[in-house]
Structure 1
Amino acid sequence: MPNRGYMLAGVVLVLDQISKYWVMNVIRLPDSGGMDVLAFFRLTFVGNAGVSMGLLPAGSDLARWLLTFVTAGIALAVAFWLRREKHVVDIAALGLVLGGAIGNIIDRVRFGYVVDFLHFFWQQYSFYVFNLADAAITLGVILLLARAVFAPSDSAKPATDGKANDA
């Protein structure tokens, strides 16, 4: 079943890279800076050199590559975790995180920044500009946290040897 997680990661990666190709090369969003789509949604080009939502900006090549290698290390850890995971929700969550992380790593290597372009807002309230990889990572983390908080703990299950759990 973990192969499904890797397959989901591949789907996320492909969709993320296709959307970024479209934004960069087909509609050439960097040239215009933005494009209104709906009353609450705009395509807005942002070259994000920092961590998620522009936090911890990586203003130098050293910081860029350090951030790239740290992110790659996290992606590798998620890939190993995925190999051992058995629960279908966790497999999906880890697949989302892995695909999104790899998509953003590719951007950092290719461009030196992550291509962000999805911009939702309402009246004077503006949300962070993000991409499909960021959305996948966020959804994956939410799923993992929800399972950790709401799933019954192993200590609540009856002991398999017929004895009560002391924990």
Structure 2
Amino acid sequence: MTPARAGLIAALATLVLDQASKLWLYFGTDLVMTQPWRLAPFADFVVVWNRGVSYGLFQQDGGFGRWLLVAVSLAAAIGLSVWMHRAGSRLLGVALGLIVGGALGNAIDRAAYGAVFDFVHLHAGTWSWYVFNVADAAIVAGVVGLLFDSLRPAGRDPRTDVAGDRNHPQA
């Protein structure tokens, strides 16, 4: 399987899982009326509408901010998709696909509802992590994949790598 195809599958799977989980929890359950749902001593399902970006930063109440964030998400998804189609490794393709799928999932929410539906709340004692969704988790996993891919020596040819070439000393 090519890196681009693996990335496309990751993007589509992320988008479908993200939207299906949000639609089911919001429209198919009574979570809105009966929240929080305790899943474990450290995890709840809750309903949070995030009008900002990561960690609730840059909250936008007006239409301009909403559509600006939709446009930025779509532009990022397009740019990352181009990169995904040029990816040289399956890890890079999947990592980019996870980010693209997550960006599109959150952009759909923002376009449809004016905010992103977040529902997973992790906590321990007085410590509380931000509330997130499948798209957010995929974006984080994609960034971790990008970091791992950047640390891999694969794709570097020691015969052409200037830093590793003893015949071409560095100045």
Same topology, TM > 0.5? yes
Q: How many equivalent residue pairs?
A: 165
**1:55 — aligned with what?**
57
**1:83 — aligned with what?**
85
| Deviation of the 1:37 alpha carbon | 1.6
Matches of 1:18 and 1:165, distance apart in 2: 55
Task: Name the Cα RMSD after superposition.
Answer: 2.1
| Deviation of the 1:61 alpha carbon | 0.7
| Deviation of the 1:164 alpha carbon | 4.3
**1:141 — aligned with what?**
143
| Deviation of the 1:12 alpha carbon | 0.7
Does 2:45 match 1:43? Answer: yes
Q: How does 1:85-124 map to 2 (within 5 A)?
A: 85-124=87-126
CA change 1:16–1:165 in 2 (3 A) is: farther
Describe the superposition over 1:14-71 as per-residue Cα deviations: whole angstroms up to 9, x where unpaired: 0101100111111132333421121111001100000012011112110010111011
| Deviation of the 1:155 alpha carbon | 6.4
Matches of 1:165 and 1:93, distance apart in 2: 35
Matches of 2:145 and 2:85, distance apart in 1: 18
CA change 1:6–1:155 in 2 (3 A) is: closer
CA contact (8 A) 1:49 1:57 kept: yes
Matches of 1:6 and 1:166, distance apart in 2: 42
Does 2:70 match 1:68? Answer: yes
Q: 5+ residue gaps in structure 2?
A: none
CA contact (8 A) 1:158 1:165 kept: no
CA contact (8 A) 1:155 1:165 kept: no
The one-letter code matched in structure 2 to 1:80 is V
Q: 5+ residue gaps in structure 1?
A: none
The one-letter code matched in structure 2 to 1:151 is R
